Amino acid sequence: MGRELRYGMNPHQAADLISGGPTVLNGDASLINYLDALNAFALASEAEALTGRAAAASFKHVSPAGAAVAGRIDETTAETCGVAEMSEDTPLSAYLRARDADPKSSFGDVVALSRPVDLQTAMFLRTVICDAVIAPGFEPGALAQLRRKKSGRFLVFEAHSIAQLPVRERRDVLGVTIEQDRDAADLAAALPADPPLDAGTRMDALLGMVVSRYTQSNSVALIKDGTTIGIGAGQQNRVDCIRLAGAKARVWWLRRHPCVRGLPEVPGMQRQDRLNWQMRFAGREMTRGQLDDFGRQFGSEARALYDEADWRETWLEGLNGVTLVSDGSLPFRDNVEHAAEAGVATIIEPGGSLRTNDVVNAALEHGITHVQTGLRLFHH
């Protein structure tokens, strides 16, 4: 038959690996582990190929929680991840930026890196809640560190080059076998030269297109300075994708406000618990019970700030320069209006819908550059 997996989609389903796949260097994989690892590594590898920078993806349930290329680690990311300053051109900087996009969703993720895992990255991965890592190799000492994680059960994949992937892929669904071409469309060629994009926006557009290629449809990705700051995935209508991605992007930006970063320290509170409170506080998304608990733990001043809207509204005016990439055509102008409220300056979409002219006009009204690629990137 094949190699037996830990389980299939659920623990009550048996599963086997029939052929191929990355090499398992440690741990025992399930079907979902493979799906996450394979899609995540393809995303990271293609992102580096398109941008020339080390890239990383944080995957949960066959969609990215975050993705980024290597770059500067800001103070908020450094505080959240508990790291000091580091070189910008490293796989670890790419992963920290990817994980910080939506750290609530990245809890227990599969980590994908476009370059080999070095010792610094391995040591960091031992400090956070993640389930697996996939990379094209491991530098001396890195694998030994990873094998100590989760009492020796941490899942480690060594990936093979995506250049070796077959041109056709096959899926069996309820007794039906379907075969199709693998989606290998040239993303750089699909991004037109007119209207012209500056180098930073073009990089964000290409990263967003790769993210869309490996995110469950319908999907929308918001990108800023080489990192996703909001992803809306798996929605049945596109405007909900944009609203979801926009809500995540606003929380990402509000986490950088002094009111959020300056919440009082609570003795004995773990880093992830503090982060969860900061995200609830930033997004004003607490239940009544959580509000009572928040006031007890962080004090009356923080509780009063939670109800105030002015500081949030003022800070959100600084969220700008965001690039939106949609895996499918935007069908109505309300997509643009929600995008504008999330600081979007550039929209990348296939175009060609019945109301694309309405979308183009809405973008003009909001001062948003609108780019049509003619390339749909659905992923299921």
Which positions are catalytic? 60-61, 218, 380
Which amino acid appears at position 241 of this protein? C
Sheet holding 219-224, edge to edge: 23-26, 155-158, 130-135, 109-113, 55-60, 63-69, 227-233, 219-224, 322-326, 344-349, 369-372
DSSP string, 69-97: ES----HHHHHHHT-----SSSHHHHHHH
Between the two ends of the chain, the Cα-to-Cα distance in Å is 26
Q: What is the DSSP string of 124-159?
A: HHTTS-EEEEEES-B-TTHHHHHTTGGGGT-EEEEP
Crossing angle of helices 288-298 and 300-307, in 10° steps, is 140
Tell me how far apart the alpha carbons of residues 222 and 322 are, in angstroms, rounded to a whole number: 6
Residue found under tokens 């700030």: 305
Contacts of range 144-151, beta carbons closer than 8 Å, 24 or more positions apart:
145/119, 146/26, 146/117, 146/122, 147/26, 149/125, 150/27
